[in-house]
Structure 1
Amino acid sequence: MAIGVIGGSGLYEIEDLQNVRTESVVTPFGDPSDQFMIGSLGDTELVFLPRHGRGHRILPSQLPFRANIWAMKKLGVERIISVSAVGSLKEKIEPGHAVIVDQFIDRTRGHRQSTFFGDGIVGHVTFADPTCHYLGETLIEAVKET
């Protein structure tokens, strides 16, 4: 199973990735943010994409979300870890801390296409649990080991 990593501001590559190759993917939603870096980290196949493109050239409001996700799926990705450089309203969470979210508020709703449904395809996706519990627990255990 391949794991996708979408890097936010400041994360444009994964240094320890082995046997790296790059791949471009054509999607029905336009071009993804950049080429994908595909390689292995230990026994895990990773597919990496810098969200804003290498050189940080794509504004947050212009990100091709659907193209990025569609391309990840086409490359065999089954789970995605998205890394973001954001702040916190909690003083206990200082810059540099890792936070693994289990809920969030989508403030982009209404400002961009946010679904693969439409044009005769109807789907009802719950947002009650918007993140993968298994992946969250796995990340928590990995952080404890470091």
Structure 2
Amino acid sequence: MKTMIGVIGGSGLYEIEGLEGAKWQTVETPWGPPSDDVLTGTLNGVKMAFLPRHGRGHVQSPTSINYRANIDALKRLGVTDVFSVSACGSFREEMAPGDFVIVDQFIDRTFAREKSFFGPGCVAHVSVAHPTCPRLGAAARAAAEAAGVTVHDGGTYLAMEGPQFSTLAESKLYREVWGCDVIGMTNMPEAKLAREAELCYASVAMITDYDSWHPDHGEVEITEIIATLMGNADKARDMVARLPALLGPEREDCPHGCDKALEYAILTQPPARNETLVAKLDAVAGRVLNR
């Protein structure tokens, strides 16, 4: 199998020098339109696909993003490995603005989003005990370190609904009681859907602020977040540009089983399956539904 790297993040990540055959593609999905067209190309012999999570011009809120369409579109294009790059707040003094965190756990506090491709007529349960792929996490860490970034290996991401930032009480709860490390609004249900689609998934949190818990930081200021995020843009592009060389053009099966997540997950027996829903699952679950 050939490697195809998918990157979900801000539009600035896609301005990578050396991307050959770059073109924007419109991808239709049975779940509706994704956030934007997908920029595809080849970098160092490896196919790439870039999807602006909020759409070019930042037109989608964290809640209005069509996460199912985004993941389906990448799977439909042939993506095998997904890297999520997103701005996050930090609950840890040592995880400072400008640092990157390779996330390996989540607490999902979102409540207004479609969180599964499956449902009545085709029921499936996948494991998200370990919601990110260690192989991709190691590649992201190596690429970020080579780009000169201070990287923290491992961290728990609190996914909040938004679009407002946390209250002080919430920030203290997530930090002091729940032991979370970073907070963001977009990696859930993205990570869960990637697992259902049998895509390896890694999450890179770019720290922009200390949320509202920090006594010397005060309330989150959007102007400060944007300034820090813009300062990280070059390093983020550098990190992404190094990924093809680390993963290579030829892809073996995932040693952690991410690409076989549906092997025993679908419980609805074939005669009882809803044909309309099964048809919508052609890209996501075709490997197991069509055999």
Q: TM-score, normalised by structure 2?
A: 0.47
- 1:34-81 per-residue CA deviation (whole Å, 9 max, x = no partner) reads 010001222221100000000001111100000000000000001110
Instruction: Find the aligned partners of 2:4 and 2:13 in 1 and give their Cα distance.
Output: 19
Give the structure with the higher percent helix: 2
- 1:95-121 per-residue CA deviation (whole Å, 9 max, x = no partner) reads 12111111111222x321110111311
Residue 93 (structure 2) pairs with residue 91 (structure 1) = yes
Instruction: Find the aligned partners of 1:114 and 1:52 in 2 and give their Cα distance.
Output: 18
**Residue segments in structure 2 that go unaligned for 5+ positions in a row:** 148-291
Residue 109 (structure 2) pairs with residue 104 (structure 1) = no
Structure 1 residue 18 displacement after superposition: 2.6
Instruction: Find the aligned partners of 1:85 and 1:119 in 2 and give their Cα distance.
Output: 35
Find the counterpart in structure 1 of residue 56 from structure 2.
54
Instruction: Find the aligned partners of 2:43 and 2:97 in 1 and give their Cα distance.
Output: 26
Find the counterpart in structure 2 of residue 138 from structure 1.
139
Provide the aligned C-alpha RMSD in A. Answer: 1.5
Specify which of 41, 45, 63 is matched with residue 43 of structure 1: 45
Find the counterpart in structure 1 of residue 127 from structure 2.
126
Instruction: Find the aligned partners of 1:94 and 1:18 in 2 and give their Cα distance.
Output: 35
- C-alpha contact (below 8 Å) 1:18/1:39 kept by paired residues: yes
Which structure has the bigger radius of gyration?
Answer: 2
SS at match of 2:14: coil
- The aligned amino acid for 1:62 is S
Instruction: Find the aligned partners of 2:88 and 2:20 in 1 and give their Cα distance.
Output: 28
- C-alpha contact (below 8 Å) 1:12/1:54 kept by paired residues: no
Find the counterpart in structure 1 of residue 20 from structure 2.
18
- Report the count of equivalent residues: 144
Instruction: Find the aligned partners of 1:60 and 1:71 in 2 and give their Cα distance.
Output: 18
Instruction: Find the aligned partners of 2:103 and 2:80 in 1 and give their Cα distance.
Output: 19
- The aligned amino acid for 1:117 is F
* 1:140–1:12 CA distance, 2 compared to 1 (3 A): closer
Q: Which moved more, 1:15-24 or 1:65-74?
A: 15-24
Instruction: Find the aligned partners of 1:144 and 1:15 in 2 and give their Cα distance.
Output: 18
Structure 1 residue 145 displacement after superposition: 2.9
Instruction: Find the aligned partners of 2:124 and 2:12 in 1 and give their Cα distance.
Output: 33
Find the counterpart in structure 2 of residue 70 from structure 1.
72
